[in-house]
Amino acid sequence: MENLLTLPVLLPLFGAALTLAFDKLPRVQRWVSGAVQVAVVAVAVTLVFLVDSRGTQVLWVGNWPQPLGITLVADHLSALMLLVSTVVTATVFFYSMGQDLDTRQRETPVSVFHPTFLVLSAGVSDAFLAGDLFNLFVGFEILLFASYVLITIGATRDRVRSGTTYVVVGVLSSSLFLTAIAAVYAATGTVNLAQLSVRLSELSPGVSLMLQLLLLTVFAVKAAVFPLSAWLPDSYPTAPAPVTAVFAGLLTKVGVYSIIRTQTLLFPNNPLSALLMWAALLTMVIGILGAVAQSEIKRMLSFTLVSHIGYMIFGVSLGTQAGLAGAIFYTAHHITIQTTLFLVVGLIERRGGTTSLNRLGGLAAVSPLLGILFFIPAMNLAGIPPLSGFIGKIGLFGAGVQVGTPLAWLLVAGSVVTSLLTLYAMAKVWNRAFWRDVPEQLSDQPSGLTVSRRHGARRGTQPTDGRGAAHPEVPAAAEPTPGGTGASPTRPSAATGTRPDPSELWEEANDSADGGVLEPSRVPRPMAATAGVLVVLGIGLTVIAGPLYGYCERAAAELSSPGNYVGAVLGDGALLDGPVGWNGTHGDAGDGAGGADSTDNQGGAG
Amino acid sequence: MTANLTLVIIAGVLIAAGVYLTLERLLTRILVGVVLISNGVNVLFLVASGNAGGPAFIGSTPPGDMSDPLPQAMVLTAIVITLGVTAFLLALAYRSFQLNGHDEVVDDVEDALIRDLAEADRVSESFDASDHPDDSTPDEEGLDFDRPEREPRPDDDLHDRTPESAEEADS
């Protein structure tokens, strides 16, 4: 049964190889990808039930002598994250398939998209199942690499611009992660999470604190926690809708998952509550203030994404079981809802031709279905009862009140304010895009057409203009400036020498924000249907909230005593009562603090 | 375990130089910076692996004298990843050059726009529709306030999408 643990990683990788081999046959690619996605969801469901009934599942890959080699571990937390992420990935995949089938606007070059998407899901699964720090790093790298390709897919000007920031941030955070791993290995002589849990508690407090801060910094970059979150709203909105959706749902949550793991398993004795609480508060408040200022739906959602990461950090920072349960529930909820919203915004873009609130209007009359699809997850995100967002927030508030320190109260207040401002932002979208009349001079023609007429001349990369998707072969400096205004958005350029006037800044911003103005068209059924499925799943989270919250509480209880994890991985003989109460044989874990001579790896086995 | 001071210093110098380069705006320089940082981190792994010993093959060295093979395996993985990243960043830099004629990493434009609004103390059009019954044309979001025309300066093109230019425009 333990061999099931390899499947969520292996199946997508094999699928990626197959789809790459069949890159000339889109139909085969779709079937392979679809089959893999469904199979992985099935595996994840099985794992959740296995874990819940029989306890933590552990696989020592290759059956090497025990503390050597790679471990895959699924406990309650991993299994739940795996299930939610695979379900969301599969839905997004079917959505993108609907988009591919719609020939009017093919945003995703099929031959690259499918393998990359599968590799991404393999990376996410690997990160959730990793039982050692280095495998976690590899999981991160797999998913990051796939995301580099996906975020710059098509290599239009906007995507190259925003992708550059994303890639550089990703690479630097990976370097920091490697540094952290080197430091951890130098201090403890192992990278196995279970062994680390034991040995880190033996280190001197200073060394241990440094390692903890290093790891937290790395994961905070990935999770977009406040001082390290600026990269996210800049880079996400330009990618195609399915890509943004899956990024928003999963990538940051892998960071959150790693933070939970680090805090509960590796450093259970040092919760760093104050630091994390401030980070959570600032993430929530500053993120949502950013969202309120936006007039572009995708950007607004990217900011709410950052803001709501704060809720999860809030739960973790409390350092209590109730806080953890709330954080885990909120993570599961947020993955689903945020993905749904981004998919629906993809539909809005399709229907209205843009995602700028200044140009949209009257969508509720044109497409009531779209209104429903947007309204439910939007209210869920804001936390309107009885939806799952409300339940998750209540859980977190309760945990915060239980802790009862002034800082915890401040956090509760901050998260209430954030929740209200989220409601405000969502209501703004609703009022502008759905409720109001169509803006007057846009009413005689679809808004996107107006826009593309105004701006079409400047677009080098839009399919709607005369030049097609062909990019200029010559550097723009040699290019005649289009539109006669002196400086086009394409200018770099020593040749033109004028500064951009504000209106061009505006147009350029729209280019980048919209990811291109599209011809408004009816929403293809498969896309609407898959978005609908996710909306229903979001409501389903509310319906099953009782059992799900129970599961999250069990997960939190399990995380609260790291001995469970250690015992399950290293065998019950190793340590039954975990590192907290661990006062046993020093010689057993070897020269923990002394570090890394060659035989040290076998140290913890005895 | 004794740390090898030379290796630590080498790693420090590499990483410091790398950080300096990543603060540049040109992607190719950032790329060189990234490569330096990665190499610095790889050297750190050598520090982490402890004292140097014999080759870690069974039979060639007594186990006690072997150097620790695990960090070496990790470094190998890291090197492969760096190779991939370098290739990808090079491709990005070239694509950026193809599109723009340079490989400068530019600022987020939408961000500059909102900053402009804030500086001019205007609200965006989406703030309240009823205030603008007539001008729902994209009115450049408050960017239609007067700005003195001025002669282009030679260094404008270098900074035209950086925050400095947004500030200059308002002064």
% of chain A residues with pLDDT over 90: 29
Band of residue B132 on the pLDDT scale cut at 50, 70, 90 = very low
Helix (H) or strand (E) holding A59: strand A57-60
Instruction: Find the mean pLDDT for residues A291-296.
Output: 85
Set of chain A residues whose Cβ sits within 8 Å of the Cβ of B154: 497
A186 at B interface, C-beta within 8 A: yes
Q: Which of residues 447-476 of A touch B (CB under 8 A)?
A: 451, 454, 460, 471-473, 475-476
The pair of three-digit structure tokens given for residue A186, joined into one six-digit string: 């130098």
Say what the pLDDT of residue A101 is.
Answer: 63
Distance of CA B166 to the CA centre of its chain: 22
Domain extents for chain B? 5-100, 109-130+139-170
Q: In the prediction, which pLDDT does A203 show?
A: 86
pLDDT tens, residue by residue, A574-599: 544 444 333 333 333 333 333 333 33
pLDDT at B110 over 80: no
Whether A475 maps to a domain, the answer reads no
Test B99 with A472 for CB contact under 8 angstroms. yes
What would the mean pLDDT of A327-334 be, rounded to a whole number?
A: 92
Question: B154 in contact with A at a CB cutoff of 8 Å?
Answer: yes
- Go through A36-72 and write b for each residue having 16 or more CB atoms within 10 A of its CB, e for each that does not: bbebbbebbeebbebbeeeebbbbbbeeeebbeebbb
The percentage of residues in chain B with a pLDDT greater than 70, rounded to a whole number, is 71
The beta-carbon neighbor of B81 closest among A141, A473, A598 is A141
Give the pLDDT band of residue A216 (cuts 50, 70, 90): very high
**Domain for residue A586, yes or no?**
no
Domain assignment present for residue A598? The answer is no
* pLDDT > 70? residue A467: no
Q: Does B108 touch chain A (CB under 8 A)?
A: yes
* Whole-angstrom distance, CA of residue A549 vs CA of residue A558: 14
pLDDT digits (tens, 9 = 90+) for A66-109: 777 788 888 889 999 999 999 999 998 888 887 766 554 555 55
So what's the pLDDT on residue A40? 92
B57, B113, B116, B123: best to mutate for the A interface, most A CBs within 10 A:
B113
Q: Which of chain B's residues have a Cβ under 8 Å away from the Cβ of A472? A: 98-99
* Average pLDDT in chain A: 78
pLDDT at B32 over 90: yes
- Quick one: tokens of A469? 């998707």
CB within 8 A of A112, min separation 6: which ones?
Answer: A23, A149, A153
With helix as H, strand as E and coil as C, how does A552-584 read?
A: HHHHHHHHHCCHHHHHHHHCCCCCCCCCCCCCC
Task: State both tokens at A368.
Answer: 């009531």
pLDDT of residue A53: 87
Instruction: Check pLDDT > 50 for residue A229.
Output: yes
State how many domains chain A has: 1
Which of B30, B48, B152 is closest, CB to CB, to A182?
A: B48
Sign of the C-alpha dihedral computed for residues B9, B13, B15 and B16 taken in this order? positive
| Domain housing A305 | 2-437+518-566
Residue type, A539: I
- Residue A54 has a pLDDT of 85
Cβ of residue B116 closer than 8 Å to a chain A Cβ: yes
pLDDT tens per residue, range A50-63 = 888 888 888 888 77
Q: Is residue A576 part of a domain?
A: no
Residue A452 scores a pLDDT above 70: no
Task: Assess if residue A114 is contained within a domain.
Answer: yes
In this prediction, residues A126-154 reach a mean pLDDT of 90
| pLDDT given for residue B53 in this prediction | 78
Are the beta carbons of A58 and A78 closer than 8 angstroms?
Answer: no
| Segment A233-246 mean pLDDT | 86
**Is A512 inside any structural domain?**
no
DSSP A482-545: GGGSS--TT---TTT-PPPPHHHHHHHHHHHHHTS-----PPPHHHHHHHHHHHHHHHHHHHTH
Overall fold of domain B5-100: Helix Hairpins (1.10.287)
* Confidence (pLDDT) at A519: 55
Q: Rounded to an integer, what distance in angstroms lies between the CA atom of residue B90 and that of residue A437?
A: 48
Structure confidence at residue A172 (pLDDT): 92
Task: Judge contact between A124 and A143, C-beta under 8 A.
Answer: yes
Chain B residues within an 8 Å CB radius of A296: 110
Predicted confidence at residue A173, as pLDDT, reads: 93
Task: Please check whether residue A484 lies inside any domain of the structure.
Answer: no
Enter the tokens of residue A316: 């973790």
* A444 SS3 class: coil
Min Cα–Cα distance to chain A from B43, Å: 10
- Which of B1, B89, B143 is facing A596, going by the closest CB pair? B1
pLDDT tens-digit map of A539-555: 888 888 888 899 998 88
Question: What pLDDT shows up at residue A23?
Answer: 76
> Exposed, middle or buried: residue A364 (CB in 10 Å: 0-12, 13-18, 19+)?
middle
Where residue A560 falls among pLDDT bands split at 50, 70, 90?
Answer: confident
Looking at residues B87-101, what average pLDDT do you find?
A: 88
A6-21 residue pLDDT tens? 889 999 999 999 888 8
What per-residue confidence (pLDDT) applies to A201?
85
CB A327 within 8 A of CB A315: yes
